[in-house]
Amino acid sequence: MNARRGGGPTMQDVGDLAQVSAMTVSRVLKKDPRVSAATRERVFAAVDRLGYRLNETARSLRLGGSGMIGLVVTNLANPFYSRLALGVQEVLTAHGYRMLLSNSGEQAELEPGLVNGFIEHRVEGLIVVPAGSRQRHLADAMRHVPVVLAARPPAGLDTDCVLVDDFHGAREAVACLLAEGHTRIAFLGNPPALYTGAERLRGFWAAHEEVSVDPDSALVRQGLVDAATAERATLELLGLPDGPTALFCANNRITQGAIRALYKAGARLPLAGFDDFDLSDVVGLPLTLVSYDADDIGRQAAQILIDRLTRQDTETPASRRVTVPTRLMRYGPQSDGRSGRRPTPSD
């Protein structure tokens, strides 16, 4: 066995010495758990003996893959997507992959270009938080690489996805406000075309229906895209002659805008919202927040993608749909006069 002239040892050289294929060497270096301990020991012994270092360019030419995974999110300024990306990176790193990250800025028209750019750079798979319901470009991408969606479901596609239990979380949070006697609860939501916005509004209505309370449609505000628009909408609601006695916010940016509006208006309305956030325990308002593990959404999406990439059989498994559960966190003075976090039945 001789290394290539003018270069170091190759993956094939390692395989020859360890008496396995180059593909098996690749799986060992990716920490594929299905490789036996004895095979791993032989491969690592060969790596040490030859002084092999993985050459990603050569790997791409030999094995048809780059060792890279593309991740497209919709808003890196939102801590949710930063945590999701960290979860993705954690799993990919453990399996020997690198992550490429792009941000669509919630602009659906930019997403096809980002996805196509990743395909042109020979990524081996994609994890996408889709910015809209038009997903033809994702169907095109699936002809080249496996695609897993995160936080929002496929529209007209048969592919894997990892979602948050948006409906149940919203219904449970609003139910807490209703149980405290609030019948005029405002809804502050993101654009209704977004899956998360629609599901959280559905949970808002379901909680009212379960206790036979009719929500006032005059207290519903949708299409809020950031803290500033949420602040303006909240101030408008607070100025109504028959305004809300409590608020439900569909995400953390909307919650932050609503809190700023309450501060400016000198109001202390109870507030429920999706997404826990830093310093929520010291705001001093009665807060009921829907919490979940954003890192785990990324981890599960990455693991599903890895499973697709490392399958050794020829049969394509059915697409998977995983739902990450939510739980309620309660902060500040609640209706019983206590302060701080109060456990709920969902804990």
Pull the structure tokens for residue 179: 């149980």
> Each residue of 280-303: pLDDT tens digit?
888 888 999 999 999 999 999 999
Strands across the sheet with 68-73, in order? 98-103, 68-73, 125-128, 147-150, 160-164, 321-324
How many whole angstroms separate alpha carbon 107 and alpha carbon 286? 34
Give the helix/strand (H/E) hosting 329.
strand 327-331
- Reading the block at residue 296, the tokens are 């785990």
DSSP secondary structure letter of residue 316: P
Mean of the per-residue pLDDT values for the chain? 87
Over the stretch 41-95, which tens digit does the pLDDT of each residue have?
998 898 888 887 665 544 444 444 578 999 999 988 888 999 999 999 999 998 8
Q: Nearest 5°: phi and psi at 298? A: -65, -45
Q: What is the pTM of this model?
A: 0.75
Structural domain includes residue 3: no
The residue segments making up the domain with residue 87 are 68-164+294-310
Residues 29 and 93 in one domain: no
Q: Looking at the domain assignment, is residue 41 inside a domain?
A: yes
How would residue 334 be classed by pLDDT, with cut points 50, 70 and 90? Answer: low
Based on the fold, state whether residues 85 and 152 are members of the same structural domain. yes
Give the pLDDT of residue 186: 98
Is the pLDDT confidence value at 9 over 90? no
pLDDT at 29: 78
Radius of gyration for the chain, computed over Cα atoms and rounded to the nearest angstrom: 25
Pair (190, 267) in one structural domain? yes
Q: What is the pLDDT of residues 105-121, one digit of tens each?
A: 989 899 999 999 999 88
What is the pLDDT, as a whole number, of residue 213?
96
Domain count across the chain:
3
pLDDT > 70? residue 324: yes
Tell whether 248 is covered by a domain: yes
CATH of the domain at 31: 1.10.260.40
pLDDT, residue 104, reads 94
Amino acid at 177: L
